Every structure is written in C-alpha cells, then in structure tokens.
Amino acid sequence: MLETALKGSKKYWILIGVLFGLHGIGVTAFLYQLNKGLTVTGMSRDVSWGLYIAQFTFLVGVAASAVMVVLPYYLHNVKEFGKITILGEFLAVAAVNMCLMFILVDLGKPMRMLNVILHPTPNSILFWDMVVLNGYLFLNIIIGWVVLSAERKQVEPPKWVKPLIYLSIPWAVSIHTVTAFLYAGLPGRHFWLTAIMAARFLASAFAAGPALLILLCLIVRRVSKFDPGKEAIQKVANIVIYALIISIFFVLLEIFTAFYSQIPGHMHGFVYTFVGLNGYGNLVPWTWASAVMAVVATLMLLCPPLRKNETTLAISCLLVFFSLWIEKGITLVITGFIPNPFDTITEYVPTLPEVAITVGIWATGFLILTILYKIAVSVKEEIAS
C-alpha cells in the first residue's frame, strides 16, 4: 500500500516538502542542542521540564483519543465510525511518534536512551510509560495496516487482529493514565499531586484528540474524494462536547479543593497561572486564553445549530484543540515547578532553538500523518471507484 503515498497531486508534494523543510530545521536545531547541551533551552535548575515534556504530555492524549472512535465501532457497533477508525488509528501512530521524539530531545544523554531497556526498573513510572507507549504504537500500526489491507482487497480482516483491537482499547486508557502518574505521584509538587490527574488527562484528551480528528476529517473531505460522513463527524462532535465539559468540571474540582481548603501549597499553582504570584505571571495570558477558548467552545458546541453547521463546528474544534493544547502543552507542566521547593520563583520562557525543535517534531509528526492519511484515503478512493 505504501506506493499510494508516492503518487499524489502537486499540492500533496508541496505539503510534504514544507513539512520536510520544517523537519530539517528541527533536526538542525537538535544537532545544535546535542552539541551545546540543554543549556540552549529555557529550562533551568528550578523549571527542569519545559516545552518538550509538555508537548509529550499533550500528545499522549491525542494518541489515546483514537479509542474514542475504535471503542464505539467495535464494542457498540456504531457503524458510522467504520469509515474513520483508520483515521483515528493513524492519528494515534503519528501522535505516539511525536511523543517518543519529544522524550528523546528532552534527554540529557539521548545516546544512552536504551539504558531504560538494559536496566529495566519497574518502580519507575517512566519505565512503564516507555512500555505502554511503544506497545500502543505497534498495536495501532498493526491494526491500522492489517485492517486497511483487508479493506483494499475487500475481504474480512484476519481473525487474529480482533483481539489486538480489543486490547488496544484499555491500552489507550493506560497510556494516558501512566503519563498522568508521572506527575501525580511526586511528593512536594502540589499542583500535580492530585488523585484525579489521570481522570483529568483522559477527559481533556478525549476532547482535544477527537476535536483534531474532526478537523482532519473536514480537511480530508475537502482535498480528496473520500467522505468520512456527516453523521460520523456529528457523533465525534458529541464526544468532544461531553469530554470538554467533564474536563472543565475536573479543573473546577481542583480549584475548589485548593481554595476552600486554603492550603497555600495547593493554591499557589492556580494563583500563579491565573493571576500571577509574587509579581511573576508569564503564564497568566495563556491560562486565560485557554479558559476563554474552552468556555466559548463549550457554548458553541452546546448550541445545536452551531454544532451541526460544519464551519462553526470547525471553529469550535479549533478552540477546543488550542485551549487544551495550552492547558496540557504549556501551563500544567510548567506550573508544577512553580514555586520551587524553596518557595521562590524561577520562571520559564522557551528559547528559539527549543521552539525550532518543537516545531520540527510537530512537522515530523504531521509528515507521518500526511503519508499515512494519503495511504488510507487512496485505499478508500480505490474501493469507491
């Protein structure tokens, strides 16, 4: 099937070229970082994780969200999703790839990465994250590829793939749970030390991921002859709004606990992100942008005419995606380090090389996504004709 990715319109090749160019910029910046060390980033002794780990965290959610189309289709026989499960799975593949790349560039000694396998350490959540992420990657590659191949030959997919599909459902939940555990189990980081962290992660993931999937479906319909189907998109939109409301609800729960209990450590993080703490407030505009976008998107999605109209739906989905990208891809991780263990504040601003590497990885992910979607769409078009 790979050959279908080698034949495409001029626009397709321009897109590939642009993404490849950005990938190149990212690689160049990464080589620079390898040479100089992570000093080229904005991270510091106090804020020791930054944009990279935050992007990783957000993208684990995008990856996990594939389950939101797979589960209804395979467990509840929601026929509309039959056409788009492959889009969900391939999105997961691209997202997990980005996750792995973001971890790689965050390591101080990336060439020693395999020490995690050479000296397996089950008490480390990071070890389990490596296990579940790689497992999820392979599950989705195999499932997506096998099912699509069968579809192309217009036969039933082989029986052995069914158990893998069922396995991929809890596995999707596991990747984001384990990622939440990275944060939720650390003593002294009050902003992260919350039992509903995994639940929050899943809720925001099931809003952001499917929102992106809707946008991708709309793009696919526009640039190809394959139509994911209006009903499927509407059903995904329902998932987005439910998940978004639950996600906002969870954040409000956190805020209640912090501010009703009035325990300083629990309040500091929220104070820092929403209004600034002791005169430091780099994240305040981001936090409010995220909050406003989430509220506007909720209202828009709750309003049936706006949800059914695909233009306003697309706008809502963009708002959801960027709102949650800010929440998980910026504020949540950085605020965990503020204030530091000495109750003082060091702020964090990413540097140019750091941003270049981040953009490069996003571009690489979208390059993978473009190629996989091209294959999927070509197969769908082939069957239709």
Partner 1 sequence: MERSRRSFLKILGISTLGLGTLSAVDLLAKAEMGKAEYSPNPKGMTGKRWALVVDVKKLDEETTQKAIEACHLIHNVPDYGDEEEIKWIWTDKYEHVFPGQEHAYLAEEIEEKPFLLLCNHCSNPPCVRVCPTQATWQRGDGIVMMDQHRCIGCRYCMAACPFGARSFNWKDPRTTYFKDKEPPNPKYPTRTKGVVEKCNLCAERLAVGEMPACVEAVKDSKAIVFGDLEDPHSEARELLHERFAIRRRPELGTSPNVYYIV
For the record, the structure tokens of 374 come out as 């091209």
Residue 61 CB, shortest distance to partner 1, in Å, is 19
- Our finding on whether 314 is near partner 1 (CB under 8 A) is no
Pick the stretch among 13-21, 57-65, 186-194, 243-251 that binds partner 1 (CB under 8 A): 186-194
- Cis omega (within 30 of 0) for bond into 264: no
Pick the stretch among 4-12, 108-116, 214-222, 232-240 that binds partner 1 (CB under 8 A): 108-116
Which residue, among 96, 177, 176, 193, has the nearest Cα to 140 in the 3D structure?
A: 96
- Our finding on whether 336 is near partner 1 (CB under 8 A) is yes
- Our finding on whether 195 is near partner 1 (CB under 8 A) is no
- Our finding on whether 29 is near partner 1 (CB under 8 A) is no
Strands (E), 287-349: none
For the record, the structure tokens of 138 come out as 């392979």
- Our finding on whether 163 is near partner 1 (CB under 8 A) is no
Residue closer to partner 1 by CB (options 22, 40) is 40
Location of structure tokens 């739906």: 313
CA–CA gap between residue 12 and residue 25 (Å, rounded) = 20
CA–CA gap between residue 55 and residue 58 (Å, rounded) = 5
Residue 290 CB, shortest distance to partner 1, in Å, is 22
CA–CA gap between residue 30 and residue 27 (Å, rounded) = 5
What are 42-47's contacts with CB under 8 Å, separation 24+?
42/348, 42/349, 42/350, 42/351, 42/354, 43/348, 44/346, 44/348, 45/346, 46/337, 46/338, 46/340, 46/344, 46/345, 46/346, 47/334, 47/337, 47/338, 47/346, 47/347, 47/348
Return all residues near 253 (Cβ < 8 A) that are at least 6 apart: 196
One residue of 69, 85, 97, 106 binding partner 1 per CB under 8 A:
106
Contact mark string toward partner 1, 128..157, x via CB under 8 A: --x---------------------------
Q: What 3-state DSSP class applies to 280? A: strand
Residue closer to partner 1 by CB (options 110, 170) is 110
One residue of 28, 44, 282, 309 binding partner 1 per CB under 8 A:
44
One residue of 39, 238, 261, 278 binding partner 1 per CB under 8 A:
39
- Binding to partner 1 (CB under 8 A) within 84-103 occurs at 103
Residue closer to partner 1 by CB (options 113, 150) is 113
Kindly determine how many residues on this chain lie close enough to bind partner 1 according to the rule CB under 8 A. 47
- Our finding on whether 37 is near partner 1 (CB under 8 A) is yes
One residue of 102, 322, 325, 337 binding partner 1 per CB under 8 A:
337
- Our finding on whether 352 is near partner 1 (CB under 8 A) is no
Please give the full DSSP string across 177-211, using - where no structure is assigned.
HHHHHHHHT-TT-TTT--TTHHHHHHHHHHHHHHH
Asked if 93 and 134 count as a contact pair (C-beta separation under 8 A), the reply is no
One residue of 163, 304, 305, 341 binding partner 1 per CB under 8 A:
341
Which residue, among 294, 310, 307, 315, has the nearest Cα to 244 in the 3D structure?
A: 294
- Our finding on whether 46 is near partner 1 (CB under 8 A) is yes
- Our finding on whether 262 is near partner 1 (CB under 8 A) is no
The binding site for partner 1 (CB under 8 A) comprises 36-39, 41, 43-46, 48-49, 103, 106-110, 112-113, 115-116, 118-119, 121, 123-127, 130, 182-183, 185-189, 264-265, 336-337, 340-344, 346
